[in-house]
Amino acid sequence: MTSIDLKNHASLVLVAILILSGDFGACHARKSQSWRQSRIHLSSIMDKGHSSRHKRITPPAPAPALKPKPPAPTPMPIPAPPAPAQTHENSTTFNVQDYGAKGDGHTDDMQAFLAAWAAACKVESSTILVPSGSVFLLSPISFAGPNCKPKITFQLDGKIIAPTSAKAWGSGLLQWIEFTKLTEIIIKGEGIIDGQGAVWWNNSSVYAGTDSIGQNRTNELNKMISAELSKMPTTKPTALRFYGSSDVTVTGITIQNSPQMHLKFDSCTNVQVFYISISSPGDSPNTDGIHLHNSQNVLIHSCNLACGDDCVSIQTGCSNIYIHDINCGPGHGISIGGLGKDNTRACVSNVTVRNTVMRNTMTGVRIKTWQGGSGSANNIMFSDIQVSEVETPIVIDQYYCDKEICKNQTSAVAVSGINYANIKGTYTVQPVYFACSDSSPCTGISLATIQLKPHQTSHHLYGPFCWETYGELKTSTMPLIDCLQKGNPSNAPSKIVLCQA
């Protein structure tokens, strides 16, 4: 074989090898790729299997033990919706401002008060509220009660003032505020009833320089008062009057500057007055503090009374009157009478006045009757009375006269069974004055523990005076009351006929 043939043969062999190498590489590449994929797949499976065979399998946690179920909570009660605001139909309290009262001190609130009263009258145990912080001007007004349910309370916390114009009073009225024919009526509170009486009084100088409004303002006020005074009717009203009522209570309030009497009870029974104040100047005319007429079973205590007349006045028809713990002054003291005016018959019985202080009063405890009257005043006790600078602490006057001249008359109201005990203090004129009737002398007058000393004063002092006065001194007295006669008068009737109040 030639070299040329060998070279050709080698070339063919090389070409064949190259061809075969190419096929084998491709085939191997395909096998290798398939193997790798199979390996990856198996490896993945084996890893999972290995993990499941060789890794520690944590068993599932047991289910927690069931705790006992707590009892269902008791459902909270559903609160009731708030009660609707009370209306006039379901309320027992009637505020006068809900009925149109302005309380500005200028507008007349009489109609609003009457409207509130009419509504309250329909409800038992109702309350009429006069609120604090306001001033209510009221024309003359009457709260009538024949058709009212019982137990009405008049809660006075504000201030009520009277009109000062003559037009409001017409030709004259006897009372400004009146409660009539009621059962179980209560007036209470911390309010004020102001009668603005200076326009009625003859002496308007009572306001001069006594307040803090300044002298110029005071002078203007006095000029206004003087101008109005000439226009006012001659009949002066009582500030607050109760008529024909039973179970009446007045407590807590202040009544001031009434044109005439401050508080009057006429034909009433079962009356209580306590913790009240009455105030008017000492020279205001006829301004009695508390005035009783034809009234029975009356209790008055723990009051401060300052006025221009009797702190308490007890008139005909009164019986079972008990008065104690009173501060009186200025004023005329505590008086029974005058009885028997205009030849009338008068009856007063069972009166007790005790534990009372009187300062700068005209008299202390007094009984006064008019000549010409009839009837009796009996069974009366004045005890534990402290007087300070009182003109005449103990008085019985059966010749009472409030005019310059009174006609002398024979008949008189019989005065008997009058007891004075433990009356002490100072006087400025005379310690005792007993002026009894010639035809009907005073009998059964007893005095015990009377100690009255003169107060240092420029007045001329008088000693005890007695006229037709019979009784006894149960203890020694200071000064000595030696004018009292013992026993009974020779001209006395064998039996005194006592009338019933």
Residues serving a catalytic function are 309, 332
User: CA dist 348 to 374, 395, 492, Å?
Assistant: 12, 17, 20
Q: Rounded distance, CA 268 to CA 252, Å? A: 20
Dihedral angle sign, alpha carbons of residues 431, 377, 181, 183: positive
Q: Which helix (DSSP H) or strand (DSSP E) does residue 347 occupy?
A: strand 345-359
Helices (H), 62-172: 110-120
Q: Which amino acid is located at 383 in the chain? A: S
- At a CB cut-off of 8 Å and minimum separation 6, what does 93 contact? 86, 126, 127, 128, 129
Cβ neighbour number for residue 371 with a 10 Å cutoff = 21
Confirm if 136 and 109 have CB atoms less than 8 A apart: yes
Whole-angstrom distance, CA of residue 381 vs CA of residue 420: 6
Q: Half-sphere exposure of residue 61, counting CA atoms within 13 Å on the CB side?
A: 3
Two structure tokens written together for 196: 């603005």
Please name the residue that has the structure tokens 């420029």.
458
Cα 131 from Cα 143, distance rounded (Å) = 18
> Encoding tokens for residue 408?
């002398």
Tokens 């006929």 identify what position?
Answer: 497
Short-list 189, 113, 125, 115, CA closest to 151 = 125
Contact 308, 282 (CB under 8 A): yes
CA distances from 429 to 351, 362, 363, 391, 433 (A): 26, 10, 10, 5, 10
The first and second tokens of residue 414, run together, are: 């019989």
Q: What's at 458, amino acid-wise?
A: S
Closest CA to 280 of 231, 223, 236, 316: 236
- Mapped onto helix, strand or coil, the DSSP state of residue 64 is coil
CB 263 within 8 A of CB 255: yes
